Structure 1
Amino acid sequence: MNWQKLEKELQKLSLEDRLAQIANLAQASEIAFSTSLGQEDQAITHAISTQKLGYRIFTLDTGRQFQESYELIDLTTKKYQLNLETFFPKTEAVESLVKEKGFNSFYYSIENRKECCGIRKIEPLNRALKGVKIWITGLRAEQSENRSQMPMFEVDESRDLVKFNPLIDWTFIQLENYLNINKIPQNPLHKKGFISIGCAPCTRAITEGEHPRAGRWWWEESQKECGLHK
């Protein structure tokens, strides 16, 4: 497959058409969308659900989420009649981490934070992606320096799949317009300055002029990534 050629073709299309086109690349059961209920993910959930494309939709529950995030899950699943799969970290791994390093070890070093993300997010993600050929994400180039050069399609050799980023070239203004026009449910924390929402202990609101991901792992200087999207 010539992924660059396909990307050029899809760039001319709407989000709905981009998502519908990939149905030709694999069976619906082999196409999965991972949602963290952020604004980008809510837009994609709307586009998949209203077209009844039949792709798998799943989320990761780290056990440290905001209450507002859980409420948004209930609202979204009800509105779109979703069969939302939820993947949790392995109990034994979490118990071992807490016993050895406490509940808040992630504050003390980048290594500790990545260890926590590995247990609570990456391992469950890898389980969720077993048997998947096309992995849909809500990544946008504007979100971070690390994502600025990402293409619409990426071959993930370690997981033997292709990652599809249908919103990679969208601006935040485009996203906001889409959400408002389609009356898509959003996390109320967004209006309080929480642009990028992760685990509650690891996310703060940003101030005017700060980068959208400045509120993630706010106590450290890093690429603001957990490892899900290397």
Structure 2
Amino acid sequence: MDAILQARVDDLRRYLPEHSVPETLALLADHFPGRVSFSTSFGLEDQLISHFIFEHELPIRVFTLDTGRNFQETYSTWNKTLQRYGQPIEVVASQAASLEKMLTRKGPNSFYESIANRQECCHIRKVEPLARALAGQQVWITGIRAEQSANRQHMHRAEWDAGHQLLKVHPLFDWTWEQAWSFAQAHGIPVNPLHQQGFVSIGCAPCTRAIAPGEDFRAGRWWWENADAKECGLHHTLGHQGLDPVVERLPG
């Protein structure tokens, strides 16, 4: 990784634990004006970050990927979020031609037939739309928490995403599920009702189930697959490479 970029990532890693989530988000918005985006899927963590952005009126773009296969409870939470904050949430959808081609050849449930088919569906409905949504951005904010899976425990609060060529920041990285839930309840934040039915990780309806006590956070995703690290491709691989500096060093 470029030395200046590495220094910026290191600065962020030091800064995040010492400051509140709103302070961190404000810093990013200030240093990367008009180039900071947050992607929400209306799960608990994402609802908290949306709350911080909207309540503090931070100039951070909020968008969601509408896969067309979401739970009705997720759509309901989406509507309640719009009503609660009165702020727009940009929608990014699949490319119609690619989706129509896949459905014509393989039908609506091909993802159950093989990992390759499932990855193709995820790519069309999520990965490719995300790439379009992040084009030209410099910071991608996510709701990732370390305890969500063993794979995510090896990540950091701030990283360089080589695939999308931008900084990736997880403001809630060290938060526990209990902390997030308590905060949402205390501040009247709309919460997806599926969380109270045993769903901790919520994706597309055909690909997500509730988990039993003691199961891994990601056990409910693509449960028919025998895989250790269950990711759709949005957060699966992170690499490091150089980038021309765009702002001054962040405060340490």
Shorter chain as normaliser: what TM range? over 0.9
TM-score of the pair, normalised by structure 2 = 0.88
Q: Secondary structure at the match of 1:135?
A: strand
Which residue of the partner structure matches residue 5 of structure 1?
11
Structure 2 gap segments, 5+ residues each: 237-252
1:113-145 Cα distance to aligned partner (Å, 9 max, x none): 011000000011011111111110000111011
Report how far residue 5 of structure 1 moved: 2.9
* Residues in 1 aligned to 2:79 and 2:188: alpha-carbon distance in whole angstroms: 16
Structure 1 gap segments, 5+ residues each: none
Given the alignment of the two structures, is residue 179 of structure 1 paired with residue 165 of structure 2, yes or no?
no
Equivalent positions of 1:99-178 (< 5 A) are 99-178=104-183
Equivalent positions of 1:213-224 (< 5 A) are 213-222=218-227, 223-224=229-230
1:166-204 Cα distance to aligned partner (Å, 9 max, x none): 111111122122112211110111101111110000011
Which residue of the partner structure matches residue 77 of structure 1?
82
Report how far residue 157 of structure 1 moved: 2.4
* Residues in 2 aligned to 1:34 and 1:160: alpha-carbon distance in whole angstroms: 16
* Residues in 2 aligned to 1:62 and 1:179: alpha-carbon distance in whole angstroms: 25
Report how far residue 75 of structure 1 moved: 0.6
* Residues in 2 aligned to 1:163 and 1:107: alpha-carbon distance in whole angstroms: 31
* Residues in 1 aligned to 2:50 and 2:24: alpha-carbon distance in whole angstroms: 13
The correspondence for 2:31, drawn from 17, 25, 32, is: 25
The answer on whether the counterparts of 2:43 and 2:202 sit within 8 Å (CA) in structure 1 is yes
AA partner of residue 119 (structure 2): K
* Residues in 2 aligned to 1:9 and 1:106: alpha-carbon distance in whole angstroms: 41
* Residues in 2 aligned to 1:17 and 1:43: alpha-carbon distance in whole angstroms: 14
1:60-119 Cα distance to aligned partner (Å, 9 max, x none): 010111111111111101111121100110111111111111111101111110110000
The answer on whether the counterparts of 2:157 and 2:173 sit within 8 Å (CA) in structure 1 is yes
Report runs of 4+ in structure 1 exceeding 2 Å deviation. none
Report how far residue 24 of structure 1 moved: 3.1
